[in-house]
Amino acid sequence: MTAPGRRGVSALGWLLLGGLAVLPLIVIGVQALATRWFFPDLVPQEWTFASVRGLASGGATRSAVFESLVVSLTAALASVLLAIPAARSLALGRLRHARLVGLGFLLPTVIPPVALAMGLNVVLLKADLAGTRAAVIFAHLVATLPYAVLVLTAALTRYDVAYERQAAVLGAGAGRILGRVFLPLALPAIMVCAALAFTVSWSQYLLTLLPGGGRVITLPVLLLVASDGGNPTAAAALALATAIPPAIAILLVVRRLDALGAPARPLR
Amino acid sequence: MATQRAARGLSRPPLSGPWALAPAAIILGVLVATGLGYAVAQSLGALPLAGKPDVGLGAYRTLLADDGGDLWASAAFTLWVTAASTLVAAAMALAAIAWLDRPRTRGRGGATGLLHLNLAIPHVVWAFALLLVLTQSGVAARAAAAVGLLDSPSDFPVLVRDGYGIGIVLHYATKEAPFLALVGMAISRAQPRELGVIAQTLGATGLRRLRLVTLPVVGPGLAVASALVFAFVFGAYEAPVVLGASSPRLLSVLSLDLFNASDLTRRPEAMALGVVMAVFVVALVGAAAFSRRQR
Amino acid sequence: MTMGIRPLMLALAALAAMVVTGCGGSGSSAGGPTAFDQADWPSVLKAARGQTVTWFAYGGSDAINRFIDTTYGPPLRDRYGITLERVPIADTVDAVNQVLSEKQAGTNPGAVDLIWINGENFTTLRQADMLRKDWARTLPNARLVDWADPALNRDFGVPVNDQESPWSSAQLQLIHDPSRTPAAELPRSYAQFATWACANLGRATYVAPGPGGFIGTRFVKGALYELSGGPPRWTTFNEARWDRESPRLWAYLRDLAPCLWRKGETYPKDENQLHSLFANQEVDLSLTQAVAGPATLVEAGTIPKGSRTFVFDANMIGDYNYVAIPRNAPHPAAALALADLILDPALQASQARPASGFGLGFGIDPTRVGDPKARAGLADSAASRGPDATPIPDLRRALAPDADPRYQDLIEQGWRRNVLRGG
């Protein structure tokens, strides 16, 4: 291939990539500040700060931001706490069927969420737990936990257990080994794991709506209703509020993501 | 005593025995078992939300009899959308890998960063964005109108809420391709770098390079990841709700519509459909995994 | 590890507290319902004082949420010492599911005091015998309600039976933009609608009947009325009549389809999708139920300025929406006080103003209001609808009652089979 040809490929690649990752978000950003922006106007004729003001003064969007943050932070935290022992076992424990067990952890991510969510909705309603945050957080674990376990396991296969042996030989107990050796060494991987679990939880729709009985209203739940266009300005502001926190979470760990080579991916 | 502990430390690091799997496994097991279990129970007529239990296969029979004429159309449509999304995403991913894995490509870090960013965007947001851009009166159509390519929205091609699911396929292809690209690049980076360099020295470029170097290295891993993408798109809900047409509906949309029907007696049918979907997709992905292990 | 452990612990504790205290399922207050006698209204208010009333209402619209909080919250607190807790739900069916499962589990008191409800959700709860009985007509403000009106004392054809109290009124209307379609060219019947659509290919459509698209169901019912000689025959269920008449309805809609937007291959799923098509000039007509006129929709940025509403000459279904109290409500006294407050003429006047963001009409009959000041307020509210709203006499002339609810499913299922995929 000639040099100009190669440059052409590069330009096309960047153009596609930019178009895929950035352009739609710019359109959302413009729509969030425009009102009555209709065909054939390429540029909005009327600008507004109503949605920004609405976000500042309370309203459904702000309470949804709060709800989403509480649910997803807790789900991420719980996933990490549960994933650490599981991943240590899978990566360091020399289990006989570690690969098979790992595959087993993939199973919940393959099952259509609609089937699980409808079942959970009925269970939780009967247990008088529907509509509670706790119920929604538990339901989110179906999506976040398998992923947290697998990502952490992948990261820990490169973890050098000799440091722990050294500490054990020097007489450190399990607590000290985990707190003083494992945690500092594995912290980057754990942060990546938490960030991914957070983004996975953040985008859950069915596993929020049905276990929450329609009462735990997170951003995706609100946005799906709003995307019909009753108030495009408000919907776009909502979309931005939904897109930014997970983007921040991923940007915070993006260098480590690359270094780990983890199959970085919110499965849901 | 001390030597004993040291010996045990040598044999197995702390918190890594089989029992350390228990908390995660039990929580997942309970959630999946109760969720699916109740779906199965309700689909069989046990434990109804209202009225008396009437245990039997009635819901499955009603569902498969397909009086509404929806089921088989939905099933075929779902398979088409899922397969098309997966294939397009995999093709885009391979192209991205071939581009980004060339030794000379600059700005790889920035590019992978953008791919990660795309992954972080929730599906609902992405679907909403595509809607704003691609409807017949969306931003793309307005741009076309501004340069005089069209006069009325109906001149713009139908890309969303269309009968063929183009909008849904576009959504999942663009949303899953970055995942597959990142997986592929992680795999190829784990390989010795020399392979690519040798290919380069021998003059392998473009498609030849893709066929002879990239594909053999990342192909198997990409296939596994594609199976996961297939399973995910098969059960997807948000994008088809935003970008789908009135008919045909994807199976998960059909299922939830039945679940929310004002007639509560249709609930078991919704659950039956959910159960059938789960069995199908688990069997399919299981078979794919098993056949790979055999080879 | 650089991060101190103490701030982390604090953050975790705060998170845990929020998870535990989150919107609790039942929020069971101390003790059961305080005793009161509804015939003795002061005893109701006495029992309600200090209570929190939990109102389950569709929460997808910020404008309506704000309207509820600011219109009913302060007077409840100041007049009756009641705290309003509005529980936003994604769909009213979520409230129905909650109450039904409470019934199954025998939970009493439950979690729900009041539900904004009508139609099939009312029917479901009524069939399950989970609604409080004998209360609506004996509220003090119930004397302002025209209980003889068949559009009011039947909800989708089902007798209200003193189990729900009206909140507001709605009626099917169309929207047009005079700069695109002059008033003189507008269709005034379903027959003319078909003619208009085929003369303006692709410029009209309607909402798909089905979940979320009940305005489309309503539009199709109106066509059934016109094709079969008027609404009175459809207020009771008659399967033979349905079998006889429905083919004509499907034939009309099938013939109409090729003239519609996207040749009838797909339809907007709900009212807002249709508004969006209208606003972006994909179609020239839209549908609404907003009795207050188009101003609320223009203000929300849904449709362009200058849009107007109009009606056909007949068969435009109108109805009321209501509030109902579950049989196992934890605070029935406070719920009764709120249901009564909703009928207050001053608050009724403010709900019907386009500026309220609510957009629906009166639930009470303004002619029954004796107090001159309150009457003036209602008249002023009606006048604030503005020149773009459908004139009241037009609305009244075209008004038709809804059909028996058993037709609902037949229409929605039949439409999918015979119109959407039939063709």
Q: How does DSSP assign B21-73, residue by residue?
A: GHHHHHHHHHHHHHHHHHHHHHHTT-S-SSS----SSHHHHHHHHTTTS-HHH
Give the pLDDT band of residue A36 (cuts 50, 70, 90). very high
- Could you tell me which residues are beta bridge partners of residue C52? C83
Kindly indicate the confidence band of residue C23, based on its pLDDT and cuts at 50, 70 and 90: very low
Helix axes C332-342 and C62-75, enclosed angle (nearest 10): 110
Packing angle between helix C62-75 and helix A60-92, nearest 10 degrees? 110
Alpha carbon of C380: minimum distance to chain B alpha carbons (Å)? 39
pLDDT at B289 > cutoff 50: yes
What pLDDT shows up at residue B295? 53
* Mean of pLDDT values over C215-223: 96
Closest-approach residue (CA) in chain A for C107: A128
The pLDDT of residue B119:
87
Residues on chain C touching A222 (C-beta within 8 angstroms) = 60
Strand, coil or helix: C360: coil
State how far the Cα of B51 lies from the Cα of B54, in Å rounded to an integer: 9
pLDDT digits (tens, 9 = 90+) for A58-112: 677 888 999 999 999 999 999 999 999 999 999 998 888 888 888 889 889 999 9
Interface membership of B85 toward A (CB under 8 Å): no
* Assigned token pair, B272: 């039956």
Residue B95: both structure tokens together = 């192209």
Q: C272 and A228 in contact by Cβ < 8 A? A: yes
Angle at Cα B256 formed by Cα B175 and Cα B160, nearest 5°? 40
Optimal mutation site among A181, A231, A238, interface C, most CBs of chain C within 10 A = A231
Q: Write out pLDDT tens, residues C136-190.
A: 999 999 999 999 988 899 998 789 999 999 999 999 999 999 999 999 999 999 9
The one-character DSSP state at A230 is S
Question: Which chain A residues touch C98 with a CB distance below 8 Å?
Answer: 125, 130-131, 213
Q: With CA atoms as reference, report the closest residue to C181 among C197, C167, C170.
A: C197
Q: Tokens 């706790």 belong to which residue?
A: A134
User: Which pair of tokens denotes residue B42?
Assistant: 């309700």
Residue B36 has pLDDT above 80, yes or no: yes
User: Would you list the DSSP string of B106-173?
Assistant: --HHHHHHHHHHHHHS-HHHHHHHHHHHHSTTSHHHHHHHHTTS-SSGGGS---SS-TT-HHHHHHHH
Q: pLDDT tier at A128 (50, 70, 90 boundaries)? A: confident
pLDDT single digits (tens) A141-154: 999 999 999 989 98
Residue B195 reports pLDDT greater than 80: no
* Helix axes B22-43 and A113-126, enclosed angle (nearest 10): 90
The tens digit of pLDDT for each residue in C118-130 reads: 888 998 899 889 9
ipTM for this prediction: 0.92
Determine contact: B262 vs chain C, CB below 8 A.
yes
Question: At C32, is the pLDDT very low, low, confident or very high (cuts 50, 70, 90)?
Answer: very low
C332-345 pLDDT, tens digit each: 999 999 999 999 99
CA closest to B248 among chain C residues: C421
N-term to C-term CA, chain B: 49
Instruction: Report CB contact under 8 Å: C280, B137.
Output: yes
Residue C173 phi, psi dihedral angles, 5° rounding:
-140, 170
